[in-house]
A and B are shown apart, each in its own frame.
Chain A
Amino acid sequence: MNSEIALFLIQDGLTNGAIYALLALALVLVFAVTRVIFIPQGEFVAYGALTLASLQLGKLPGTAWLLLAAGMAVAIVESVQALRFGAVRRIPAVIFTYIIIPGSLFCLAWWAAPQKPALTLQVLLALLLVVPLGPMVYRLAYQPLANASVLVLLIISVAVHFAMTGLGLVFFGAEGSRTPAFSDAHWKLGVLTISGQSLWVIGTSLALIVALLLFFEHTIYGKALRATAINRVGARLVGVSPAMAGKLSFTLAALIGALSGVLIAPITTIYYDSGFLVGLKGFVGAIVGGLVSYPIAAAGALLVGLLEAYASFWASAYKEVIVFTLIIPVLVWRSLTTHHIEEDEE
């Protein structure tokens, strides 16, 4: 291997690694706040990518229908609960949030899609259609079980992953899609050619990481999420409800997922079920960080990206095997360094 290829692989690895790092951060966030191991993160990646692909073809994306249906389901669940607790006053707000807003987004997409607006608007529209699914999924699947053990929540996650993959197949079909690059620019830097798309991906990821940092450090909602992660009882006592924290963290995770999908769609062909593997690679990174440390998780995810790039050069057939086997030494290392903690769950 010459240095040109080596540098190219590093660029490739960092580009993918940046996306895995974003996903790893979202996974750590969701786990810290809700104790949910968010396996369906990957589906948000696929939904983001495929929604954008549909919009570029001038078609109404299937996720618009899904948004409408999920909103309806949440509205029903919330209304039933409101009636049971005699809080009828809440129903108009529920209808507005879960029926009127998704309905308006649906109409917007229906009107805008055939006009093929500018790429930025398409991306924005794709995010608007996919991100609200995050809190809705939390409300429907997880919130009723918020006090269950990590294990039960994990099984729920896998079930949600199953359902969302199946729905992806219904709405997007079995065909894969690849969107055009955000930028065709290339720069020569010595022996290395830097692609504009790579810069886009790495730049956006960095910007998002900085934005998240600012959000956690300097906003009241960011602090509320950190507080919930540190001490759930304490958070409730100052008025931060676990349901609100859960929905907020799922919104952020869905945003990060969908945006990752948008970023990755020009690099690789995305199918309805591709998200799972992409998300799991973020997971390997998150596990390196023990599901608690943001910087270590991000570093682990970059390592996964690099490993994958080199593996696909040397032994492309075994790429996935090598990446997922990385988890074994990580677990060995963690089990040797972690002192046994007794979990008194369930």
Chain B
Amino acid sequence: MSALLEVRGLCVAYGKVEAVHQAALRVEEGRIVTVIGPNGAGKTTLLAALMGMLPARGSVSYAGKDIARIEPEQRVSRGLCLVPERRELFAAMTVEDNLVLGAFHRYRKSDPTIGADFKQVYQLFPRLQERRRQLAGTLSGGERQMLALGRALMSRPRLLMLDEPSLGLAPLIVRDIFRVIGGLRESGVSILLVEQNARAALQVADYGYVLETGEIAVEGPSADLVSDPRVIESYLGLVSGGAG
């Protein structure tokens, strides 16, 4: 099976600081792949670069085509979609308008199936339908994450990239969100999931990578990583030979 996303030798730098170094990863069609790692490992940077929001070196091939030099907007219309860590909702617009804008590139092509997707998103998140006339800025943290996911789904993504979907959410809501993520795979969406919450991420994912100070330190099937002591080490700094 060929990979939907294939990344090789990706380096991302902010000025002099290289935040991601020579990263390589694959996402197969219809799979959930997770990138876990401690705070500051470069996970967010990695996703931002894959979306084209940050300049990067290296090769990024998506659906068999090199997309390293195209703009984020073009990536969106090819089915790549990022739900960022900060959600980046349109706070002063209604929930419904946020969803409408999620389908922006499809309106431009006068896609007739947008209405059906609205229904689907509302079915998935009934809370959003209840609050569709409310401003996005007035939503709670969990509802914001639902809206961010809903807005992403309105673009009808082929590869959905999620940056810390559990961040700042209460455990119950985290469970809901992860249930939705698991369900999306069934509907054929491939997912690249970045999480600090390693256990939750590994439970839902098929394959995982551990990113540590900008480099892929460990990779393997999720089931293997769950019990890999190196994962805990990388989080809590139990490895000998650390700083000093």
Direct A–B contact in the complex, CB atoms closer than 8 angstroms: yes
- Residues of chain A touching chain B, judged by Cβ–Cβ distance below 8 Å, are 85-86, 220, 223-224, 226-227, 230-231, 233-241, 244
What A residues does B108 contact at CB under 8 A?
220
Say if the beta carbon of B105 comes within 8 Å of chain A: yes
Residue among B73, B93, B100 with max Cβ neighbours from chain A (10 Å): B73
Judge whether B151 and A238 touch: CB under 8 Å: yes
Say if the beta carbon of B34 comes within 8 Å of chain A: no
- Residues of chain B touching chain A, judged by Cβ–Cβ distance below 8 Å, are 51, 53, 69, 71-73, 76-77, 81-82, 84, 86, 88-93, 97, 100-102, 104-105, 107-108, 151, 155
Q: Chain B's nearest CB lies how many Å from the CB of A123?
A: 30
* Partner among B53, B88, B89, B104 whose Cβ is within 8 Å of the Cβ of A224: B104
Q: Give CA–CA (A169, B82) in the complex, Å.
A: 50
Judge whether B73 and A220 touch: CB under 8 Å: no
Given known contacts A226-B90, A227-B93, A239-B77, A233 and B104 CB-to-CB distance under 8 angstroms: no
Given known contacts A223-B101, A233-B84, A233-B88, A240 and B73 CB-to-CB distance under 8 angstroms: yes
Q: Chain B's nearest CB lies how many Å from the CB of A270?
A: 38
The count of A-to-B residue pairs whose CB atoms sit within 8 angstroms is 70
**15 pairs across A/B with beta carbons < 8 Å?**
A223-B93, A223-B100, A224-B101, A226-B92, A227-B97, A233-B84, A234-B89, A236-B73, A237-B53, A237-B82, A237-B84, A238-B105, A240-B101, A240-B104, A244-B73
Judge whether A226 and B88 touch: CB under 8 Å: no
What B residues does A235 contact at CB under 8 A?
90, 101
Q: Give CA–CA (A241, B74) in the complex, Å.
A: 9
Q: Chain B's nearest CB lies how many Å from the CB of A214?
A: 14
What B residues does A237 contact at CB under 8 A?
51, 53, 72, 76, 81-82, 84, 88
Minimum CB distance partner of B81 in chain A = A237
Residue among B105, B108, B151 with max Cβ neighbours from chain A (10 Å): B108
Q: Give CA–CA (A223, B136) in the complex, Å.
A: 14
What A residues does B105 contact at CB under 8 A?
238-239
Q: Give CA–CA (A263, B71) in the complex, Å.
A: 41
Q: Give CA–CA (A238, B84) in the complex, Å.
A: 11
Q: Chain A's nearest CB lies how many Å from the CB of B105?
A: 4
What A residues does B51 contact at CB under 8 A?
237
7 closest Cβ pairs, A-B complex? A234-B88, A239-B76, A241-B73, A239-B105, A220-B107, A239-B73, A230-B90
Q: Chain B's nearest CB lies how many Å from the CB of A146?
A: 12
Q: Give CA–CA (A313, B120) in the complex, Å.
A: 64
* Partner among B92, B100, B155 whose Cβ is within 8 Å of the Cβ of A230: B92
Judge whether A227 and B88 touch: CB under 8 Å: no
Q: Chain B's nearest CB lies how many Å from the CB of A156?
A: 22
Q: Give CA–CA (A230, B89) in the complex, Å.
A: 9
Beyond the given A226-B93, A231-B90, A237-B76, please list 11 additional residue pairs across the A-B interface where CB-CB is below 8 A: A220-B101, A226-B92, A227-B97, A230-B92, A231-B91, A234-B89, A236-B53, A236-B72, A239-B72, A239-B155, A241-B72
